[in-house]
Amino acid sequence: ARPVRRCRASVASNYSQTSEIVDLDWENLGFGLVQTDYMYITKCGQDGKFSEGELVPFGPIALNPSSGVLNYGQGLFEGLKAYRKPDGSILLFRPEENALRMQTGAERMCMPAPSVEQFVDAVKQTVLANKRWVPPTGKGSLYIRPLLMGSGAVLGLAPAPEYTFIIFASPVGNYFKEGLAPINLIVEDKFHRATPGGTGSVKTIGNYASVLMAQKIAKEKGYSDVLYLDVVHKKYLEEVSSCNIFVVKGNVISTPAVKGTILPGITRKSIIDVAVSKGFQVEERLVSVDELLDADEVFCTGTAVVVSPVGSITYQGKRVEYGHQGVGVVSQQLYTSLTSLQMGQTEDWMGWTMQL
Ligand code: COI
């Protein structure tokens, strides 16, 4: 076993002064874990306050078998990315939005959450400590995964007496194996992702475990992922297992409104603002599954998937195709606008990036 070296921010900032990049096959990065050097960790006890966190070598953590997260799923996660600019410096994309979303989710899950300031500072420390793992410009990004969990022991059903907040990071490329090529979705008519009054709008770990079965069946049939419908009417679009969905018709871009059963994606929100700034009319509303039939384009958004064009959707045995197997014009325009801003290739006219 590796010796545990404790490492505070000063060590992390030493990393920030080196221009070294690890020797990896950057051309073939997918979305799998590549272990990096350090992770950030802090705990919070009954007083509700997180201690000053520290960077420790990335590795396994000890968890009580009776912890809230293992027994009752009291856990949340976040996802955000850091990009290397052409000049070698690093940009974070809207980290305070993740901090705020974690606070909202923590409230729903009866957990304390770190302050926005502590969250953003912890993200910065983690990225700087792992700076050599941020891919070269245009080759991918460093995916940052904050985790908040009930680590204290419980037996009866109750909020845990102690919480652990961890951030680790991994270099990533494209999420779907199709790369940037359009993905093929199937509308799910048996399983549902969320119910009104449930936890569909927060990033709790259970939301992701519960979609694995539908996703597995879809993949076995050759689809990239599953598109969920609302549980009440079984008619309105909700989201894909790991991302939000948009439907394009002429100059109008529609997406399901955030009303408690879908995740308020940060990329979703950013794409809405980018689209409006480009002159599109964006509607957040109930989007019926029938609208897929005569849409010009469909695309998904998420931190991991970025903007992913949809090539086909199958619903009740009928397949509708978009973009003639290519990337639709609108999807391409929005993808390029967002990613060039995230990577620092164009001016950040929205003020969304944070330079490290
Ligand atoms: C993300 O896009 O960051 C997510 O959290 C989705 C996850 C399933 C990879």
Report the separation in Å between the CA atom of 130 and the middle of ligand 1, taken as the mean of its atom positions. Answer: 20
Catalytic sites, residue numbers: 203
Report the separation in Å between the CA atom of 47 and the middle of ligand 1, taken as the mean of its atom positions. Answer: 31
Q: Which atom of ligand 1 is nearest to the CA of 203?
A: 5
DSSP state of 250: T
**Predicted pLDDT of residue 177:** 79
Q: Ligand 1: does its nearest atom lie under 6 Å from the Cβ of 105?
A: no
- Interface pTM, i.e. ipTM: 0.98
Rounded to whole angstroms, the Cα distance separating 104 from 251 reads 33
DSSP state of 344: T
Q: Which residues of the chain have pLDDT under 70?
A: 1-19
Q: What angle do CA 337, 340, 84 make, to 5 degrees?
A: 155
Q: Which residue has tokens 């790991």? A: 242
- What distances in angstroms separate CA 31 from CA 214, 222, 230, one per listed residue? 20, 19, 28
- CA distance from start to end of the chain: 32
**Predicted pLDDT of residue 281:** 98
Q: What angle do CA 325, 330, 332 make, to 5 degrees?
A: 65
Distance of CA 52 to the CA centre of its chain: 25
Q: Ligand 1: does its nearest atom lie under 6 Å from the Cβ of 205?
A: no
Nearest CA to ligand 1 atom 9: 304
Q: Ligand 1: does its nearest atom lie under 6 Å from the Cβ of 302?
A: yes
3-state class of 11 per DSSP? helix
DSSP-based helix, strand, coil % in the chain, nearest 5: 25, 30, 45
**Predicted pLDDT of residue 18:** 52
Q: Ligand 1: does its nearest atom lie under 6 Å from the Cβ of 265?
A: no
**Predicted pLDDT of residue 19:** 60
Burial of 268 (0-12, 13-18, 19+ CB in 10 A): buried
pTM as predicted: 0.93
3-state class of 87 per DSSP? coil
Rounded to whole angstroms, the Cα distance separating 226 from 242 reads 9
Rounded to whole angstroms, the Cα distance separating 317 from 307 reads 26
HSE-CB at 40 with a 13 A cutoff on CA atoms is 29
Q: Ligand 1: does its nearest atom lie under 6 Å from the Cβ of 328?
A: no
Report the separation in Å between the CA atom of 173 and the middle of ligand 1, taken as the mean of its atom positions. Answer: 13
Rounded to whole angstroms, the Cα distance separating 208 from 36 reads 24
Two tokens at 258?
């955030």
